[in-house]
Amino acid sequence: MRLVILGLLAFLVCGPISAEMLVVLDMDGELGNGPDSVFVEPQDSIAVAVWLVGDLLGADFYGFAVFVVDNGPLAFLGGEILTPAPWVSDLSENGDTVSIVAMHPTLGGSPEGTFLVAILQYVAAAEETLGELGVDLARSGFAVDFGPTCFFDDFVGAKIMIGGNTATEQPTWGAIKTLFR
């Protein structure tokens, strides 16, 4: 299933769409205030919600792929796909990347405003350091009207400070996004 969907999403140029589409990684239940930061202790678990945010006005939305990349001592525990039926979705882990791929078999209509995709669970596996979650924008995208791939315009990531407030390394999001491009 994953290969089929990725094939559908690949290699063509996105047609005109009317709004910006973002991937938001949320940890506090509030969209629009990110990037979220949390302080946790080693071995604490962390829940991260993956949202698509943006109005695809006039488009029939039928598939997407989101690649969430962890940076630092975070271990992926598992995830729950939350796309409603009849969306068909798949979640898998490969190294430091969790991929979420989904398609709507009959054209899904436009997700308006926000669309909750999945909850991912991580565990903080070391002390006194910084873990970060971002999105590989070069690989993540969506498709409308059985058309070509549209890439997300940007993402809002998440920061996890492990073992108190003494993290000494806090790279900027601009630097991290540069790594993913």
| Closer to Ca ion by Cβ: residue 36 or 136 | 36
User: 130 forms bridges with which residues in the sheet?
Assistant: 161
C-beta of 20 vs 28, nearer to Ca ion: 28
Give me the least distance between CB of 135 and Ca ion, in Å please. 15
Residue 151 CB contacts under 8 Å (≥ 6 apart), including other chains: 14, 137, 138, 140, 141
Name the minimum Å distance from CB 30 to Ca ion.
5
Half-sphere exposure at residue 50, Cβ-oriented, CA atoms within 13 angstroms: 26
Separation of alpha carbons 180 and 25, rounded Å:
16
Please say which residue, 9 or 158, places its beta carbon nearer to Ca ion.
158
Q: Which helix (H) or strand (E) holds 4?
A: helix 2-9
The two most distant CA atoms of the chain are separated, in Å, by 50
* Binding footprint of Ca ion on the chain (CB under 5 A): 26, 28, 30, 33-34, 36
Q: What whole-number distance in Å separates Cα of residue 31 and Cα of residue 169? A: 26
At its nearest, how many Å lie between Ca ion and the CB of residue 60? 29
Q: How far is the CB of 11 from Ca ion (least distance, A)?
A: 33
Q: Measured from the CB atom, is 30 or 169 closer to Ca ion?
A: 30
Measured from the CB atom, the residue of 34 and 108 that comes closer to Ca ion is 34
Tokens matching residue 165: 């407030």
Q: How far is the CB of 13 from Ca ion (least distance, A)?
A: 32
Any residues with CB less than 8 A from the CB of 174 and at least 6 apart, and which?
none
CA gap 172, 26 in Å, rounded: 18
Residue 94 CB, nearest approach to Ca ion (Å): 26
Cβ proximity to Ca ion, 26 vs 136, nearer residue:
26
